[in-house]
Amino acid sequence: MSGGETATAGGPERPPALLEVTGLRTWFDTDQGTARAVDGVTFDVRAGETVGIVGESGCGKTVTSLSVLGLLPTPPARVLDGSSIRFRGEELVGATARRLRAIRGNEISMIFQEPMSSLNPVYPIGDQIGETLRLHRGMSRREARTEAVRLLDEVGIAGAERRVDEYPHELSGGMRQRVMIAMALSCAPDLLIADEPTTALDVTIQAQILELLAALRASRGMAVLLITHDLGVVAEVCDRVVVMYAGQVVERGTVEEIFADPRHPYTRGLLDSLPSVDEPGRRLVPIPGTVPAPTDWPDGCRFRARCPLAEERCGEPQDLVGLGREDRAARCWKAPAVGAGRERP
């Protein structure tokens, strides 16, 4: 019920939350100690919108997305008590394996970074798409095949009737990602989780896939949770953005807010390292250093060692600080004070 109340508090025009992740902590027990890969992550996705999770590799964004569907091997992974993942109000943490399977590929589906290795090399693509339909929709082999052809057509694969019997190795990378999308869309899910869907592709193909995703979202009205390290992609397709660093959310806001008025030094660092068409000739400023190892996050602000604005007080634990609008927040005590614009230290 509380989920519904928060949703209404955001404003009457906003649709209710489809996915609510609250205080998610996913840790890994490794030989080197406990890796706190995801360490208290909170965000939500509303019906029909696209939310981007952004961050460098190793910040925990992929683990977050896999945790939603319970796809991490346990052990070594474990989702800690107190974590909550609600899908249409239903708690998924601790849900039975059977219930999770009924949701996967049906109400929430997922596509992955590596289209080259994400398809099973020994089965024709039509079988792999049809498998989902037969599982969740109870279709016969023939119905599933017909539907697979239609889906391949929908994701823009020419000659779908012929392609449906081909094996993954006969397709290019971009085509395989289209097949993955067709597979994910087959049961008309309400939420599509796309984990770096374009990273492994050529730039031109990237644009095509993003366009396809945007078009399908519009025509089907599904929500998309897009995991990426590429702010350019975010700017292009997302409504709202969650910036992650070292297993935590460091900033949340709409795409306009994040790009025009970044409040966390890390977000600003990401933007400064991005070339911009608006300001040709601006020097790109890389963020110094690297993400610390998830086995030993520093106390206090985890970005401190790389932050140009670090002070004594940053050694204390930092909480997300609300910034006016209900969803807007940043994990930095300086955030409320920092004004709009891109003032650099």
Partner 1 sequence: MTRYVVRRLLGAVPLVLGIATIIFFVVNAAPGDPTLYMMAPGMSSEVVEQLRVNYGLDQPVHVRYVKWVGAMLTGDFGYSFSYNRPVLDVLMDFLPNTLVLSACALGLAFLVGIVLGTIQAVKQYSGLDSALSVVLLFFYSMPSFWLALMLILTFSLMARNVWDWPIYFPASGITSTGHDFMGPWEQVADRARHLVLPTLSLALVLAAGIARYMRGSMLEVIRQDFVRTARAKGLPERTVVFKHALRNALIPVITLVGLYIPVLFSGTVFVEYIFAWPGMGRAIVEAITRRDYPLVMAASFFFATMVVLANLLADVLYAVVDPRIRYE
Q: Which residues bind partner 1 (CB under 8 A)?
A: 69, 71, 75, 97, 100-106, 109-110, 112, 114, 117-123, 131-132, 135-136, 167, 169, 180, 183
> Of the two residues 104 and 268, which places its CB atom closer to partner 1 in the complex?
104
Question: Minimum distance from CB of 120 to partner 1 (Å)?
Answer: 4
> Of the two residues 106 and 146, which places its CB atom closer to partner 1 in the complex?
106
Question: Minimum distance from CB of 232 to partner 1 (Å)?
Answer: 25
> Of the two residues 55 and 115, which places its CB atom closer to partner 1 in the complex?
115
Question: Minimum distance from CB of 30 to partner 1 (Å)?
Answer: 13
Q: 144 with 133: CB under 8 angstroms?
A: yes
Question: Minimum distance from CB of 195 to partner 1 (Å)?
Answer: 10
Question: Minimum distance from CB of 168 to partner 1 (Å)?
Answer: 8
| Phi and psi, residue 336, nearest 5° | -60, -35
Q: How far is CA 258 from the centre of its chain?
A: 16
Question: Minimum distance from CB of 166 to partner 1 (Å)?
Answer: 9
> Of the two residues 119 and 149, which places its CB atom closer to partner 1 in the complex?
119
d(CA 252, CA 330): 6
> Of the two residues 222 and 249, which places its CB atom closer to partner 1 in the complex?
222
> Of the two residues 91 and 170, which places its CB atom closer to partner 1 in the complex?
170
Q: 250 with 243: CB under 8 angstroms?
A: yes
> Of the two residues 11 and 75, which places its CB atom closer to partner 1 in the complex?
75
Select from 215, 214, 225 the least CA-distant residue to 190: 225
Q: What is the Rg, in whole angstroms, of the alpha carbon atoms belonging to the chain?
A: 21
Positive or negative: CA dihedral 266, 268, 273, 274:
positive
Q: 59 with 245: CB under 8 angstroms?
A: yes
Q: At what angle do helices 141-154 and 125-136 cross, to 10 degrees?
A: 120
HSE-up of residue 327 (Cα within 13 Å, Cβ side): 25
Q: 344 exposed, middle or buried (CB, 10 Å; 0-12, 13-18, 19+)?
A: exposed
Select from 242, 263, 258 the least CA-distant residue to 333: 263
151: helix, strand or coil:
helix
Question: Minimum distance from CB of 71 to partner 1 (Å)?
Answer: 6
